Amino acid sequence: TQLLEQSPQFLSIQEGENLTVYCNSSSVFSSLQWYRQEPGEGPVLLVTVVTGGEVKKLKRLTFQFGDARKDSSLHITAAQPGDTGLYLCAGQTSYDKVIFGPGTSLSVIP
């Protein structure tokens, strides 16, 4: 069974701080996606990483895919209250099935 773990589960920080959340698995994925979800809404895609070692930047967010394509990290610089939400990583298998991690719930306090 392929599983994705995310850490930390909860994170509460002050506005302006930096943070990193992690997504780990023992399985290899053909790609990995990061989503952000706000209460009462569906997940919204932030980025897809495909190549081992790939780094993608989206404004203050930096995403990295591990060399072995088993893990990923999301780093946020100078967090803002608008970054508050549930951050989900999702791994796509070679059979196109997508497996989600349990998420990291981020709260940025003004």
Partner 1 sequence: DTGVSQNPRHKITKRGQNVTFRCDPISEHNRLYWYRQTLGQGPEFLTYFQNEAQLEKSRLLSDRFSAERPKGSFSTLEIQRTEQGDSAMYLCASSLDGLGSNQPQHFGDGTRLSIL
Interface with partner 1 by CB under 8 A: which residues? 4, 6, 30-31, 33, 35, 40-45, 48, 50, 88, 90, 92, 94, 96-103, 105
Rank residues 37 and 62 by Cβ distance to partner 1 and give the closer one.
37
DSSP string, 13-24: EETT--EEEEEE
Query: What tokens does 45 get?
Result: 């895609």
Rank residues 88 and 108 by Cβ distance to partner 1 and give the closer one.
88
Q: Which residues contact 80 (CB under 8 A, 6 or more apart)?
A: 15, 60, 108
In whole angstroms, what is the distance from residue 63 CA to residue 54 CA?
8
Residue 106 Cβ vs partner 1, minimum distance, rounded to whole Å: 13
Residue 110 Cβ vs partner 1, minimum distance, rounded to whole Å: 24
Residue 27 Cβ vs partner 1, minimum distance, rounded to whole Å: 15
Residue 56 Cβ vs partner 1, minimum distance, rounded to whole Å: 13
Burial per residue of 47-68, b for 16 or more beta-carbon CB atoms within 10 angstroms, e otherwise: bebeeeebeeeeeebbbbbbee
Rank residues 24 and 92 by Cβ distance to partner 1 and give the closer one.
92
Rank residues 33 and 72 by Cβ distance to partner 1 and give the closer one.
33
Strand partners, 19: 76
